Amino acid sequence: MKLAIDQQRLVSEIETLAEFSDAEPPAVTRIVFGPADLKARAWIKARCKDAGLAIREDAIGNTFARWVGSDPLAPAVGTGSHTDAIPNAGKYDGVVGVLGGLESIRALQRAGFRPRHAIELLIFTSEEPTRFGIGCLGSRLLSGTLSADAARRLKDNGGNSLDEVRQKAGFTAELEQVKLPDAYYKAFVELHIEQGPILERERKPLGVVEKIAAPASLRVIVEGQGGHAGAVLMPDRHDALCAASELILAIEHAARTSGAIDTVATVGICEVFPGAVNSIPARVRLSVDIRDTDQQRRDDIMRVLEQTYHSISANRQVRIHSELLNADAPAQCGPAIVAALGQACATHGFDFLTMTSRAYHDSLFISRVAPAAMLFIPCRLGYSHRPDEYASPEDIARGALVLAETLATLAS
Ligand SMILES: [Zn+2]
């Protein structure tokens, strides 16, 4: 099979898609179900129809473009990503996986390949949390990680319910129907820019992802006793900020000593009440983000923190409440897909790095219902989510070529 990517066409399609934007070029802003998003969807669907793909959309607007296989009973092989973009983002995040996926399918068609399993391009709705405050909306519903009821309770920043907004955009079916049936996909592969600097630094053209990290986020409130900064003597104090400081260092220590480089923990917000120069802190609110590629290890850190709460509150006579806001499970990528990606790189003589995705993607959620893996290409200086995000035409085409080869292996 003679596979060739039409690099010029692929890059010009990426440029065209960037024109559907609410921001001035080179910035791209495409908020889910806004006018730019809807125009971009229509344009992509037309390109998929040109390629002879059969299109289906579900109740949340996930779009499936299918190249039918010779065995109608065999589960599909999926590829794809997202096209929504946060305010003032770039052209490549998500888009490389969607338009690169489409070009991979066209390259297979041109090469005369006939898939046994259907090959399906999937464009996920709202990977970015911009509008509804929750990332990976489409893939969470597809995988059953988010229930239809919980989705219906979501509101955008203008107070409009998700149900209202999606129906106005033309997606009117029942949200209950979004979850994929069992064994719908044999495998799912997402092509994506790395969004980090490692490939560029290591001078590797491709990254095969074998693990996807996931965050747990907590809100921690420390309640002590306020008072006058002059009048209350040190032995009588229950300073909430001093207690919170011990806690912050304990969180850092727990992550540093987990035994794995993949464990990271961050206290990103520290709010002090009443926040006056001559007032003892009475209450502190912390936001804690703990990430790992191993759920057990991440949960162990949370257990260590529980013990730390007890010891700090006993020593300092303060109260500590912790609320778990979210805890997505990390994923191990499907070994057969990881192997197929490595083999495809070898077939075309490309060096690659085996790596961990530290940002999370729709593939994290798809991995709950199907074996999934990702292929990374470098992006300049690791920049992403900013207008100067850049991936070279050669890197994009190389990614699409390896994706096509991998899809051929998986769909045969
Ligand atoms: Zn993305």
**pLDDT of res. 157:** 83
- CA–CA separation, 30 and 125 (whole Å): 11
Answer yes or no: is pLDDT of 326 > 90.
no
Per residue in 93-113, pLDDT tens?
999 999 999 999 999 999 999
Peptide bond connecting 26 to the previous residue in cis, omega within 30 degrees of 0: yes
Dist. CA 280 → ligand 1 center (Å): 44
**pLDDT of res. 359:** 87
Locate the DSSP E strands across 237-344. 264-273, 279-280, 283-292, 319-327, 331-332
Dist. CA 361 → ligand 1 center (Å): 6
Tell me the residues surrounding ligand 1 (ion) with CB < 5 Å: 93-94
- CA–CA separation, 60 and 32 (whole Å): 10
**pLDDT of res. 293:** 95
Dist. CA 183 → ligand 1 center (Å): 25
What is the separation, in whole angstroms, between the first and last Cα of the chain?
A: 13
Question: What is the overall mean pLDDT for the chain?
Answer: 96
Among 306, 307, 315, 309, which residue's Cα sits nearest to residue 238?
Answer: 315
Answer yes or no: is pLDDT of 162 > 90.
yes
- CA–CA separation, 133 and 405 (whole Å): 36
Answer yes or no: is pLDDT of 360 > 90.
no
Dist. CA 311 → ligand 1 center (Å): 41
Dist. CA 70 → ligand 1 center (Å): 32
Using H for helix, E for strand and C for coil, what is the string for 162-213?
Answer: HHHHHHHCCCCCCHHHCCCCCCCEEEEEEEEECCCCHHHHHCCCEEEEEEEC
Dist. CA 83 → ligand 1 center (Å): 8
Token readout for 36 is 């730019």
Dist. CA 192 → ligand 1 center (Å): 7
Answer yes or no: is pLDDT of 1 > 90.
no
State whether residue 267 is helix, strand or coil: strand
- Look at strands 76-82 and 119-124 and give their pairing: parallel
pLDDT band at 405 (very low <50, low <70, confident <90, very high): very high
Dist. CA 93 → ligand 1 center (Å): 5
